[in-house]
Structure 1
Amino acid sequence: MGRGTGAGADYKPWFTIQDVPSSGRTHRPHGMKTGRVHHLLSDIERDLFYILDWSPSVIDIREQFPLDRGITQAIAERIGVRHPRDTATRTPLVMTTDFLCDAMRDGRRVLIARSVKPVDKLQDDRVVEKQEIERRYWVEQDVDWGIVTDADIPATYAENIGRVHNCASVADLAQPFPGYYAEKAALIAREVPMRAYLTLHQFCAEMDLRLALPPATTLMLIRHLIATRVLVCDTT
C-alpha cells in the first residue's frame, strides 16, 4: 500500500515526521487503537491524538490524510484563492487533513475530519484560505470537519492521558520471562481496592518491596492498568 492508504495498523500517513519541517516538536506515539506508530507534527497534534486515542467512540485514527488534488484545485479555483504549490517547481501540492477518524455516533460509523492549528495562526489570511479549501472539501464529502486549536485542548486531560499512554503495552519491555509484567500487573490490580487508604506513593513503594520489583515499577504498571482500563480513575 502507498502513502495515504490503508486503515488501522496498515495505514501509511501522507507525510511522516522526516518529510516535513515542523515549527514545534514532533512525536511518534504508538497508537492504542491502531497498534502502529503515528506521525504527529506538533504538540497540539500530540495532545489531540491522546484524546482521540483515549475516546471509546473513536475506532480508527489516520493522521496526515491526503485530499484528492483534483478536487482541492477545483475548489480553490471556484472560490478564487491560490492552491498550495511547490515553491521551486510551482507544481500543485497534495493538501492534507491532520486527522481523519472513524467514530461511532448514535450506533452508526461515521467519519470525522479535524484540522489542527495554533490559535494565532488563524489570524493569517493565507492560512484561513487553505482552511477554507479543506473545509469545503469535507463538506462536499458530507464529513464532519472542524478546526482544533491549542485553546480548545483541555491541557490537564491531555497531559493525564499522556502519562499513561506509553504504558498501554508492556509485552515488548525487557522482562525475566514472557508475561512477567502482565502477571505482576494482575497482582497489583487485586491489591488496589484493599489498600485504598494509602497514597499512590505509599502503595507503589509497598508493592515494589513486596513483589521485589525495581523502584517505580509498580507506578509503571499502575499506569498500564489505567491505560488498559483495568483500573478506572478521573483523568480530567
Structure 2
Amino acid sequence: MSGSWKNNTKIKRLMAEGRGQGVGSDYIPWIKTNEFSSKGRATRIFGVKTGRLHHLNSDNQYRAFLTFEFANQVLDLRESYPLLDVMEVIDEKDDLRFDKFQDKETREGYVITTNFLLTVKEPGGNEKFVARTVKNTSELKRKITWEKLEIERRYWLNRQVDWKVLTEKQLPRQLAKNIEWVRETLLGSEGNLDKEQLSITLLKYFLENDEFPLKEVLKSFDKQEGLQKGSGLFLFRYLLAKKEIRVDMSKTIDLSTNVKNLLL
C-alpha cells in the first residue's frame, strides 16, 4: 500500500476486503457498480473465463469486456484495477495534478483506477500484462480527463506495461452484439439438450448441406434429430462461441445466406 493511504480509513477497509487483489475468480474490483452513481449504464456480467461477476460502468466498458473475453489470447480480465502504488511507481510526477483527484473537504486523494488489466498469452507462450482505459470521445474534450490519463500513462510506462486508450470508435457495436448473442450458450443450455454431442452432429450436417441457406439447414436439422424448434440455432451459436466454426463477427449474421458462403 502506498504511504499516502496509511491514514485513509475507507481505503484501508477496501484493501482489507481484498479489493484490487487476486487473479481469476479471486479478483475483486476496486469499484463495484452498486457503490456510486455512474454516468453510463452499469452492467454486472458473469465471466466465462474468470468464473466471477464483473462490474462494468458504461456501455463502452461492456463492449470492451465482451471483445477482450472473446479473444483467444486473453487469459484473465481485471476491471477497475487500482493504482495504489502510483506515488512510488511514477518517478517524474511534480507536474502531475494529483490535487484534482482528491476529496474537496478532507483533501484525501482518490484512488486512481485503470478500467482493465488483462493477462495476455503471447504467440511464444509467455504471458504479459496489458492495460486498457476506456473513454467516450466526448470525455476527451475535458482537461481533467487528460490529466488522469497522463497519470495512468506514466504509471504503466514505469511498470513497463503496454497501455492504450480505447473509445467507442475501436469498439464496434455489431461485434459486441454478436459476441453477446453467442456467449450466452456457454453459460447454459436449451432444456436437456446435449450441446456437446449434438454440436458435433450439426457440424457434419453443415458439411453435407452447405449449398442451402443456413436457416433452412437448421430447421431441417431440428426435424431430423427430433429436437425442439430453435435447437439447431442454439447449437450454431454454441459452435461460434466455441470457435469450432467461424463467421465474420464484425458483420450482421445473415441466416438466409447459404452455409458455404457464411462460414469462413
| 8 Å Cα contact 2:116-2:132 kept in structure 1 | yes
Q: Deviations along 1:87-144, whole A, 9 cap, x unmatched?
A: 5644211111100011123523211101000011101001111111111111111111
For 1:198 and 1:87, the matched residues in 2 are separated by 66
Matches within 5 A, 1:1-236: 2-68=18-84, 71=87, 78-81=94-97, 82-87=99-104, 89-107=106-124, 108-170=126-188, 173=189, 175-176=191-192, 180-236=194-250
- Deviating above 6 A after TM superposition, structure 1's stretches of 4 or more consecutive aligned residues are 72-76
Instruction: Give secondary structure in 1 for the equivalent of 2:46.
Output: coil
Q: Percent identity at matched positions?
A: 31
Kindly indicate whether the alpha-carbon contact (under 8 Å) linking 1:63 and 1:99 is maintained by their aligned counterparts in 2: yes
Q: Structure 1 residues 174 and 203 mapped into 2: Cα distance closer, same or farther (>3 Å)?
A: closer
Bigger CA drift: 180-189 or 41-50? 180-189
Q: In the TM superposition, what whole-angstrom CA distance separates every residue of 1:31-54 from its partner, at most 9, and x where no partner exists?
A: 232222221111111111122112
One-letter amino acid of the counterpart of residue 176, structure 2? A
Aligned residues: 232
Structure with bigger gyration radius = 2
For structure 2, the 5+ residue unaligned runs are 1-16, 251-264
Indicate the SS of the match to 1:197.
coil
1:14–1:64 Cα contact (<8 Å) kept: yes
Question: Does the CA-based 8 Å contact 1:58-1:103 persist in structure 2?
Answer: yes
User: RMSD of aligned C-alpha atoms?
Assistant: 2.4
TM-score, length-normalised on structure 1?
A: 0.87
Q: TM-score, normalised by structure 2?
A: 0.78
Asked if the contact 1:72/1:137 (under 8 Å) is kept, the reply is no
Query: 1:69–1:93: 8 Å Cα contact kept in structure 2?
Result: no
Following TM superposition, by how much is the alpha carbon of 1:29 offset from its aligned partner in structure 2, in angstroms? 2.8
Take 2:60 and 2:70, find their aligned partners in 1: how far apart are those partners?
A: 15
SS of the residue 1:99 aligns to: strand
* Alignment check: 8 A CA contact 2:25 2:51 kept: yes
